[in-house]
A and B are shown apart, each in its own frame.
Chain A
Amino acid sequence: MSRIVLADDHPMIRTAIEVLLRDTAHEVVGTAASAREALEQMQALKPDILLLDLAMPEQGGMSVVRKLKSEGSTQKIAILTAGIDDATLMEARTLGVRGMVLKSSDPAYLIDCLDKVQAGGTWIDPELAGRIHDLSETFSGAKRPALAPRERQLIRFVRQGLRNKEIAAELGVTEGTVKVYLHGIFEKLGVSTRTELAVRADEFLAESFARG
């Protein structure tokens, strides 16, 4: 029996999954409705698997993955999401997420995924596996230099539409430092404007994770 913490902000989903897992080899030992709650539950309950939604209020599900991985957590993570962009998909794969299921897929996939992850394997939704394959092929011959984690973080901020001042506050650096970083990113990626960087952020990030 695997112990699962379920993090999803929609009560309908939480209830439905608890019911679905009732007669299986998995038990929902805790639920969370936000990224912060998910981290608290992981700390308190030490589950085998975190079943995580990506689109949650405040910081989103990927912030939980990043935090756990940066702390060296070995707990297994499976993502359950209604949609995922290329950059997040490739980042999740790079960070070692073991399971990925789309909410729009066959509900039976979720149990297949949890079974496989619990057994130490990896289970990726067929649609997402196809996208990962295509992205890896697309970026296999890419010539752009690799991006550092801080650079990727900066690109995410630019994609969110944050101004230099706001990015500086988020990172705890000066506005001048942000400008220097951005200049370096422009040079590396061959873009000339902030708008181009924001519009193509998904492509750059996906490529960076595909190579990383």
Chain B
Amino acid sequence: MIALGRVLLASLLLIAVWIDRSEPADIPAAAYPLLVGYLLIAVAIAAATWKNWWLDAHLSGPAHAIDIALFTAVVYLTQGDQSPFFTFFVFVLLSAAIRWGWRATALTAILLSLLYVLASLLSVPGEDIAWGRFVARTGHLVILSLILIWFGVNQWRARLNGSAEDLLAESSPEVPTIESALVAAMGAARASSGAIVWVRAGKTDAIVARNDGSELEVDHRPAADFSEPAGGPFLYDVHKNRALCRDAKGNLKTLRAREALGDEDISTLKLGQGLAVPLVSEAGEGQLYLETVRGLSSDHLEMGEQIGANVALHMQRRALMKAAEESAEARSRLAIARDLHDSVVQFLAGAGFRLEAMKRAEGRDLTPELEELKQLMLQEQGELRAFIRALRGGSQMGMTDVAKDLQALADRLARQWHVQCTFSAAKAEMAVPSRLHLDAQQLVREAVANAVRHAGAKNVSIRLGAEQEELKLDFINDGAAYPKTADGERMPLSLRERVEAAGGALELSRGMGVTKLSISLPVGGRAA
């Protein structure tokens, strides 16, 4: 782009000087061959660097030096402080800002300003200088310099904003992480094909994704087959065995492509020419390869750093999301395991002991015991069916059904603990997730058991309600105050744990000879 700009500018300057013959004295004859020579050099550079990032990178420094030299020469040759070629200054500074960022822009600006002052003073005797215009133009130089230095600082941020947003956007969990990262990175760099090698932290296999522009293939290979991530982005051309990167000081440094990439990477990923970007995050590490990039040049090295950081962030975030999902699943599995342990396993064990006792009974009438066991089995079966229905439902159930189940449970608990257990439910329209339904069942079991065991209650009143996306359970018992646990709390630990696991809150209060336990459970479940 800069090379083409140089050709256009050189042509324009030459045409303008050639056409404008109104003041031939202002343009000395020496300026013409100078401008013609500059135009030829500009054309040669543009031709040589066309689709060739290697030469583009290597010729950028010499071309910049030629630009500065020409600026100084034309200012010196053409009226110094009043030179019509003053605007050429803008092109030189802009090209420095595009290529190298603010430091090189600042250095170029200082150098050009000094050369402008020097050329002006040398070309025009001191008493002939139009000091007003000279000072004004010098001031313009400084202001322009500051603007272009600012441009140098901000240009990459501005250029990458769109692509960074794509990479940072919440992509659908349905699209695998590697796929979405590769597609977003290709879009950001305007690449038609690309590949990613990604090794998750602590794993020995690499996930390899390759997009040849039409379809995407994902494979798993041993991580040891691939090279370690490079220290920074680099351009590569496998056929010419050339690679280019920036060193710690930002200077361009040449490498051998085959050494930088590794033979296994080249053959497996079918690498040709493109941009390699290392990816490093806590979730893992790897390398991104972007090929068939439109207008590939050394400018892409800076872009590569941004893309690499964004892709690594994307991978990290998806890894965290996955960990959070797994953690939620694990919590859910634990809760179900605990529910089964607390109900089915214990019941079956108890039934086994009862049957063993009957087997050993000699001459005793077993009818009452068998009848009792049958009733217990029927109740347990009912609870198990409710449990399975809630799990199967997978989604939600109405408050009426929840209340019906809890009413049956309260009746059973009353018989089991030999206490008065009353249940009431407020009318409410709310869809209750099955997980919450199971939690409510278990909380009722534990709250009644705690009231009887720890407080010696004879009456327990249970009330179910709903308000503002919360399920409410209130338990009032006429027993003594709960004894303090080891950590000085009066709140029963098993209840506290279950409520906290569900993301809810519980409150214990005592007065008028009764204990009230209020539990609220968010319908949305525990916050991540």
Contact = CB atoms under 8 A, between A and B. Distances in A.
Nearest to A102: B349
A17 B342 CA distance: 17
A36 B450 CA distance: 13
Contacts of A17: 353
B416 A107 contact: no
A110 B353 contact: yes
Contact of B485 (A19, A58, A83): A58
A158 B464 CA distance: 37
B353 A58 contact: no
Contacts of A28: none
Contacts of B349: 13, 16, 82, 103-104, 107
Contacts of B353: 13, 16-17, 19-20, 107, 110
Interface stretch (A4-12, A70-78, A179-187, A204-212): A4-12
A9 B346 CA distance: 10
Contacts of B486: 58-59
Where chain A touches its partner, the secondary structure class is loop
Interface string A89-109: 000000000000001100110
A83 to B, nearest CB: 8
A41 interface: no
The size class of the interface chain B forms with chain A is 20 to 34
B357 A58 contact: no
A61 B349 CA distance: 18
A1 to B, nearest CB: 16
Where chain B touches its partner, the secondary structure class is helix
Contacts of A190: none
Interface in B450-478: 450, 453-454
Given A58-B485, A58-B486, A15 B350 contact: yes
B417 A103 contact: no
A9 B492 CA distance: 13
Contact of B416 (A9, A11, A13): A11
B345 A104 contact: yes
A19 B362 CA distance: 13
A114 interface: no
A15 B355 CA distance: 12
A10 B413 CA distance: 12
Nearest to B483: A36
A22 B360 CA distance: 10
Interface string B103-135: 000000000000000000000000000000000
21 contacts: A10-B342, A11-B417, A11-B449, A12-B346, A13-B346, A15-B350, A19-B354, A20-B354, A20-B357, A33-B453, A57-B450, A57-B494, A58-B493, A58-B494, A59-B486, A82-B345, A103-B345, A103-B346, A103-B349, A107-B353, A110-B353
